[in-house]
Amino acid sequence: MEKCVIETTQLTKQFGKTTVVNNLSICINEGDIFGFLGPNGAGKTTTIRMLVGLIAPTSGSAKILGKDIQADFVNAIQDVGAIVENPELYPFYTGRQNLIHFAKLSGDVDKERIEEVIKLVRLENRIDTKVKTYSLGMRQRLGLAQALLNKPKVLILDEPTNGLDPQGMKEIRQIIGHLADTEKITIFISSHLLHEIEQLCNKVAIVSNGKLIVQGDVKSLLTKEYQEVTIEVSDSDKAKHILKALPYIQDVVVDENKITVKYSGDSVAQINKALVLADVDVTHLAASNGNLEDYFLELTGGEVIA
Ligand SMILES: Nc1ncnc2c1ncn2[C@@H]1O[C@H](COP(=O)(O)OP(=O)(O)OP(=O)(O)O)[C@@H](O)[C@H]1O
């Protein structure tokens, strides 16, 4: 079996009588972009705080590159870069001055590495302006640059796109994807956004109420076997009859003049064509994501993941 770069074994954290992380056992392999997915309050941040040694587990253990976080903290953490909560940055320094400051603190970071990380997070254009003028996305990218200074083999990121607009989210996703590809960094990323994990990660663990629900390949766990489209038509009874006869249709549900169709493959155009050829006017046609969210509700026992 492949070795785990990050491994938790029955990791548990209780605050008073409340169990926030409950017997969590997960394994992240080298080169994974691993999504740690769960609704707000599922215990993601608490897990990450244990992974980076900010708090101690109540029981169980966590290892990074085979080294135990509790028993061998300094060695376990030496190849880890992390952003937990908001990165601490100095607003009256420029981005570059912040990086120089953090490089000095960590000791053995040379000037070339500072230039490299600026490029990796795509902040070349704004690196010499003060951080107080940065957008949230730019601050996150500077935080990421700081986490990269020591050339980590493992990056642990707690909701790095939280609060960003869609463009800012996309930039962070692109940067993270690029880091995994070119720098060969294994990445652990928490999120409550299903679509984000779907777009970015190859592996996923889904947590709810501190418990692992399932872990595995994103493709096999999150990708639907069928797609869904809603159609509005002039004659829904006739449309239903026609659609049900088509080989790639899995299900047809009629609600007045609105029809929800589950279909396999790439057949929206064919669905449209079949209806039009049978003289059914299609007044509206829209792809929907309904099932994925339904699937999640099922998995998390009714808790919504956006
Ligand atoms: N120090 C603490 N003392 C008591 N309860 C805590 C503490 N830290 C976290 N909790 C509780 O543990 C639960 C899980 O919190 P955690 O922040 O780990 O969840 P999360 O999945 O990261 O969600 P979010 O995205 O909302 O931060 C929450 O109910 C929270 O109130």
In a domain, 296, yes or no: no
pLDDT tens digit sequence for 75-123: 999 999 999 977 788 999 999 999 999 999 887 888 999 999 999 999 9
ipTM of the complex: 0.94
Q: Determine if residue 66 is left, alpha or beta; phi over 0 gives left, psi from -120 to 50 gives alpha, anything else beta.
A: left
Residue ranges making up the domain that contains 197: 4-222
In a domain, 295, yes or no: no
Same domain for 280 and 132?
no
In a domain, 274, yes or no: yes
What pTM was estimated for this model as a whole? 0.79
In a domain, 174, yes or no: yes
pLDDT tens digit sequence for 192-213: 888 888 889 999 999 988 999 8
Residues 147-175, mean pLDDT to the nearest whole number: 93
**Residue 72's CATH number:** 3.40.50.300
> What is residue 81's predicted lDDT score, i.e. its pLDDT?
94
Same domain for 233 and 218?
no
In a domain, 299, yes or no: no
pLDDT at 220 > cutoff 80: no
Same domain for 67 and 199?
yes
Would strands 18-29 and 203-208 be described as parallel, antiparallel, or unpaired? unpaired
Distance CA 151, CA 114 (A): 11
pLDDT at 124 > cutoff 60: yes
Q: Is 208 in the pocket of ligand 1 (CB under 6 A)?
A: no
> Which atom of ligand 1 lies at the shortest distance from residue 42's CA?
21
pLDDT at 32 > cutoff 90: yes
> What is residue 1's predicted lDDT score, i.e. its pLDDT?
58
> Which atom of ligand 1 lies at the shortest distance from residue 192's CA?
25
105-114 burial, b for 16+ CB within 10 Å, e for fewer?
eeeebeeebb
Nearest to 190 by CA among 162, 221, 149: 162
Residue tagged 């449209």 (tokens):
272
> What is residue 87's predicted lDDT score, i.e. its pLDDT?
73
Q: Is 14 in the pocket of ligand 1 (CB under 6 A)?
A: no
Residues 22-45, mean pLDDT to the nearest whole number: 94
- Which of the listed residues 12, 14, 15 should we mutate to test ligand 1's pocket, taking the one with most ligand atoms within 8 A of CB? 15
Same domain for 51 and 184?
yes
Most confident of 6-10, 159-163, 242-246: 6-10
**Residue 265's CATH number:** 3.30.70.100
In a domain, 298, yes or no: no
Would strands 211-217 and 227-233 be described as parallel, antiparallel, or unpaired? unpaired
Same domain for 163 and 185?
yes
Q: How many angstroms is it from 17 CA to the middle of ligand 1?
A: 14
> Which atom of ligand 1 lies at the shortest distance from residue 47's CA?
18
Q: Is 41 in the pocket of ligand 1 (CB under 6 A)?
A: yes
In a domain, 302, yes or no: no
Same domain for 73 and 141?
yes
Same domain for 59 and 203?
yes
In a domain, 61, yes or no: yes
Q: HEC string of the chain?
A: CCCEEEEEEEEEEEECCEEEEEEEEEEEECCCEEEEECCCCCCHHHHHHHHCCCCCCCEEEEEECCEECCCCHHHHHCCEEEECCCCCCCCCCEHHHHHHHHHHHHCCCCHHHHHHHHHHCCCHHHCCCEHHHCCHHHHHHHHHHHHHCCCCCEEEEECCCCCCCHHHHHHHHHHHHHHHHHCCCEEEEEECCHHHHHHHCCEEEEEECCEEEEEEEHHHHHCCCCEEEEEEECCHHHHHHHHHCCCCEEEEEEECCEEEEEECCCCHHHHHHHHHHCCCCEEEEEEECHHHHHHHHHHCCCCCCC
Same domain for 76 and 206?
yes
Same domain for 234 and 199?
no
Residues 237-256, mean pLDDT to the nearest whole number: 89
Distance CA 158, CA 44 (A): 8
Same domain for 211 and 256?
no
Same domain for 102 and 201?
yes
Q: How many angstroms is it from 151 CA to the middle of ligand 1?
A: 30
Same domain for 149 and 236?
no
Instruction: Count how many domains the chain has.
Output: 2
